[in-house]
């Protein structure tokens, strides 16, 4: 017969949603009546240390207790909303700070890839947070939009770190610069990797992620050749159009590679929850 200690461990395990457990010392199986179509517990060789081995009956989610569901239901959308509002505050603060020092041309201010990619991410995060709070599934078009937004903001973070960090110009507010170039790119990447409330993105939709970067490059090249405005020094026509074309092609290729990585990452599911499914 199992010891009282075994019984206490059994009951503790059962309250956490385990459907059946077995004591590997006496091999006694203690099932629990649950609402599941499965009736036969899975079996596996008992460990040699005599510890209690937990066996699941049927297929369980990684997060399946009421408290866990409640936490996930509100924690994930709350984090997305908080980050989105932080990004919005950084964009608005940058706009107002710039307006105190010069007359703002909105076509120039909102022409930066950094600003545009952050605006796209803010909108997508707010929509995703709202959908989760109302207990709805992430629509296919929303998952696709999240994949695209993650691609763009990751490009922003990588390009800033590789080519622009430490250079003069750009965003003068240090905290806003950090938010738009570091915090939001990192959060978006982690959000995409950790939270699995998304379907696998089909490879035949990869081209959708390339529309915006290609259009942005074309518009920037046209503006550089006409009114002389360029958002970043490496796209300045004064360097020669050969150099500019090389950077443009590099950006386009990088967009393809980053989009492919995001598409591939959509097939990874590290953190499952029926609340976010």
Q: pLDDT truncated to tens, each residue of the chain (277 aa)?
A: 544 444 444 444 444 444 444 444 454 555 444 444 444 444 444 444 333 333 333 333 444 454 545 555 678 899 999 999 999 999 999 999 999 888 889 999 999 999 999 999 999 999 999 988 887 778 899 999 999 999 999 999 998 888 777 666 668 888 999 999 999 999 999 999 988 788 899 999 999 999 999 999 999 989 988 888 888 888 888 888 888 889 889 888 989 999 999 999 998 876 554 445 4
d(CA 19, CA 128): 33
Whole-structure pTM value: 0.71
How far is it between the farthest Cα atoms of the chain? 88
What residue spans define the domains of the chain? 4-55, 66-265
pLDDT at 21: 46
Residue 259 near residue 210, CB atoms below 8 Å: yes
Vertex 107: Cα angle to 105 and 113 (nearest 5): 120
Question: What 8-state DSSP symbol labels residue 181?
Answer: I
Vertex 224: Cα angle to 220 and 225 (nearest 5): 120
Q: Among residues 276, 74, 119, 86, which one has the least CA distance to residue 192?
A: 276
Which sign does the torsion angle of CA 263, 265, 267, 271 carry? Answer: negative
The tokens describing 118, both together, are 């952050």
d(CA 35, CA 32): 10
Which sign does the torsion angle of CA 121, 154, 245, 225 carry? Answer: positive
The crossing angle, in degrees rounded to 10, of helices 66-99 and 184-194 is 160
Half-sphere exposure of 47 (CA within 13 A, CB side): 9
What does the chain come to in residues? Answer: 277
Torsion of CA 193, 81, 197, 181, to 10 degrees: -20
pLDDT at 167: 67
């Amino acid at each position: 017969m199992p010891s009282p200690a075994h019984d206490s461990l059994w009951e503790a395990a059962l309250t956490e949603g385990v459907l059946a457990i077995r004591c590997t010392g006496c091999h006694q199986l203690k099932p629990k009546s649950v609402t599941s179509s499965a009736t036969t517990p899975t079996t596996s060789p008992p460990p040699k240390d005599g510890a209690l081995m937990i066996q699941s009956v049927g297929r369980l989610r990684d997060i399946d207790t009421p408290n866990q569901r409640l936490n996930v239901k509100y924690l994930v959308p709350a984090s997305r909303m908080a980050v989105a509002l932080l990004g919005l505050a950084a964009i608005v603060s940058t706009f107002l700070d710039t307006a105190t020092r010069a007359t703002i041309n909105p076509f120039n201010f909102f022409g930066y890839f950094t600003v545009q990619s952050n605006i796209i991410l803010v909108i997508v995060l707010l929509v995703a947070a709202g959908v989760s709070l109302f207990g709805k599934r992430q629509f296919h078009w929303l998952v696709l939009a999240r994949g695209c937004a993650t691609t763009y903001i990751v490009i922003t973070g990588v390009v800033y770190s590789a080519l622009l960090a430490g250079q003069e110009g750009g965003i003068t507010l240090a905290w806003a610069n950090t938010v738009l170039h570091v915090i939001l790119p990192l959060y978006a990447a982690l959000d995409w990797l950790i939270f699995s409330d998304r379907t696998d993105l089909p490879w035949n939709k990869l081209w959708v992620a390339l529309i915006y970067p290609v259009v942005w490059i074309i518009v920037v090249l046209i503006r550089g050749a006409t009114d002389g405005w360029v958002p970043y020094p490496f796209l300045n026509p004064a360097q020669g159009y050969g150099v500019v074309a090389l950077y443009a092609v590099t950006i386009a290729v990088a967009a393809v590679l980053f989009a492919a990585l995001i598409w591939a990452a959509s097939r990874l599911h590290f953190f499952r929850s029926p609340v976010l499914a």
